[in-house]
């Protein structure tokens, strides 16, 4: 008889959750398929109904302020280029070919606002900083702030840095491979291991070859920090190319999710995600839902989901910032990379992807009088990291256990700074990050970057929309108004 690795490990409540969850995913898949064939007029009808329902429950929209106008433009911006144009910044696009054949999109902000360059794709003679996003994200998360002084990317540009922003394989800007079609399961057969072995080191090597700099500074957020922890631990020469690693909301071995049913179910058998979502990208229906829902309704749905899954209240992120940023929050990622995270949570170890799941289940059920296991997934040797590390973490972040993390890192080169009252997403989108977060980042960069004397003493930020920016008439949703209300 075929063995079910999770049989006997789940409670009756877990089985009910599995059945209900499977039904909801199946329903969502069918709905997404149907939506893809609907004419725009029908989508507009559903959108208008959600808008009317929202204003019936909350009240009519108020006259728009300047910040609301900017919020709407950010929300409607279709890509990284449009987001930069809103605030008057020019960008470059680069493509990196990884050693295993994936094509990764890199974005670059080489010049200050109003600074003109005659040669693109060459060295600027400035210190280089590299920003990397988190799980289910892309490079847009760094530039979708409603105020440029709260954007870490724009602030660093004005200080005189050559700013590069990376993208993981499979996301909006890296959905291509020379070996596999993105419609195939082989394309999506990657985990955090692949980010560490290929994406991070290959991107950094490309950047240094273009800029002619001996090293760069790395700033990661969430999974972007995990990828750097992993890459630095398994690539000793990479430590010479990163002069400082600044980890925002660092992720290494999270305790789990606040939603107990989901947490226990996935920890019992992480590969259940393959049964629920398949073996390609996860939650690929999000753009379809975004097209149907009125922005405040979509924002409320995301806020409620974050509260349920992680117990994040998002009080430090303003309603307008949510409206602007949440449409840019989601990007494609593999189901396997999420399975990898639940393996890490289950074993409470920052380990490589465990391909031998079936064998592990069987071995662990056998009696072990000595207490010694016969198999242990390979762990990332993070204590071997040589590059200086600065950790900036929120004390209200349910995904960060700073004591466990410090135990797994080298003691001689780590500085940890607590951000009081901060949750996970607050670290990049919070209302006061220009006071609480960015100064710590700049301080560390000045201390460790190559030739810091090339930098400005302070960033001269200007607020407002660039006069050269042209209103974009296309939309990610059919909205023509925005409400200041947040459910």
Q: What span, in angstroms and rounded, lies between the C-alpha atoms of 198 and 231?
A: 8
Taking alpha carbons only, the member of 17, 20, 482, 37 closest to residue 296 is: 482
Three-point CA angle 340, 345, 348, nearest 5°: 120
Backbone angles phi and psi of 30, in degrees to 5: -65, -45
Of the CA atoms within 13 Å of residue 67, those in its CB half-sphere come to: 13
Taking alpha carbons only, the member of 40, 60, 42 closest to residue 52 is: 60
Q: Where does residue 456 rank: exposed (0-12), middle (13-18), buried (19+ CB within 10 A)?
A: exposed
Residue count of the chain: 487
Active site residues: 222, 397, 424
Structure tokens given for 149: 């002084």
Q: What span, in angstroms and rounded, lies between the C-alpha atoms of 100 and 402?
A: 34
Axis-axis angle for helices 223-234, 200-211 (nearest 10): 80
Q: Are 217 and 445 in contact (CB under 8 A)?
A: yes
Q: What span, in angstroms and rounded, lies between the C-alpha atoms of 105 and 174?
A: 5
429 Cβ neighbours under 8 A, 6+ residues apart:
141, 145, 150, 317, 321, 325
Structure tokens given for 281: 């990208």
Q: What span, in angstroms and rounded, lies between the C-alpha atoms of 217 and 201?
A: 13
Structure tokens given for 18: 């599995």
Q: Which DSSP symbol is given to 351?
A: B
DSSP H/E element including 242: strand 242-248
Q: Are 314 and 149 in contact (CB under 8 A)?
A: no
Q: Are 153 and 333 in contact (CB under 8 A)?
A: no
How far is CA 436 from each of CA 104, 150, 284, 441, 444, rounded to the nearest angstrom?
32, 10, 34, 10, 14
């Amino acid at each position: 008889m075929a063995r079910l690795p999770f049989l006997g490990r789940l409670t009756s409540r877990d089985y009910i959750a599995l059945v209900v969850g499977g039904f909801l995913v199946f329903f969502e898949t069918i709905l997404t398929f149907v939506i893809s064939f609907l004419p725009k007029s029908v989508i507009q009808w559903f959108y208008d109904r959600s808008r009317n329902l929202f204003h019936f429950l909350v009240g009519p929209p108020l006259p728009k302020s300047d910040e609301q106008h900017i919020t709407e433009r950010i929300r409607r911006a279709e890509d990284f280029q449009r987001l930069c144009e809103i605030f008057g910044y020019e960008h470059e696009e680069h493509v990196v070919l990884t050693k295993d054949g994936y094509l990764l999109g890199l974005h670059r902000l080489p010049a200050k606002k109003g600074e003109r360059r005659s040669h693109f794709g060459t060295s600027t003679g400035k210190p280089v900083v590299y920003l990397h996003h988190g799980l289910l994200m892309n490079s847009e998360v760094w530039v979708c702030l409603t105020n440029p002084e709260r954007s870490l990317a724009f602030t660093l540009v004005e200080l005189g840095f050559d700013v590069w922003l990376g993208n993981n394989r499979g996301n909006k800007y890296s959905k291509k491979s020379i070996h596999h079609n993105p419609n195939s399961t082989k394309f999506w057969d990657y985990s955090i291991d692949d980010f560490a072995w290929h994406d991070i080191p290959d991107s950094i090597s490309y950047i240094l070859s273009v800029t002619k700099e001996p090293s760069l500074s790395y700033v990661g957020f969430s999974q972007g920090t995990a990828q750097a922890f992993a890459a630095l631990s398994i690539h000793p020469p990479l430590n010479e190319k990163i002069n400082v690693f600044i980890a925002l909301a660092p992720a290494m071995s999270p305790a789990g999710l606040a939603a107990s049913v989901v947490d226990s179910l996935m920890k019992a058998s992480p590969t259940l995600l393959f049964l629920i979502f398949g073996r390609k990208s996860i939650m690929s229906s999000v753009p379809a839902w975004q097209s149907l829902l009125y922005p405040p309704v979509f924002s409320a749905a995301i806020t409620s989901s974050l509260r349920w899954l992680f117990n994040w209240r998002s009080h430090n992120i303003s309603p307008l910032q949510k409206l602007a940023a949440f449409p840019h929050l989601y990007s494609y990622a593999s189901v396997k990379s999420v399975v990898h995270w639940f393996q890490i949570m289950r074993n409470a170890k920052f380990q490589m992807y465990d391909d031998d799941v079936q064998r592990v289940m069987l071995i662990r059920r056998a009696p072990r009088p000595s207490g010694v296991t016969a198999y242990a997934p390979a762990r990332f040797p993070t204590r071997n990291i040589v590059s200086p590390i600065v950790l900036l973490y929120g004390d209200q972040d349910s995904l960060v256990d700073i004591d466990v993390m410090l135990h797994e890192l080298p003691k001689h080169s780590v500085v940890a700074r607590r951000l009081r009252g901060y949750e996970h997403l607050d670290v990049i989108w919070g209302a006061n990050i220009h006071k609480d977060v960015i100064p710590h980042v700049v301080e560390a960069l000045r201390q460790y970057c190559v030739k810091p004397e090339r930098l400005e003493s302070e960033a001269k930020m200007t607020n407002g929309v660039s006069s050269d920016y042209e209103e974009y008439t296309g939309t990610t949703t059919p909205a023509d108004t925005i409400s200041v209300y947040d459910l």
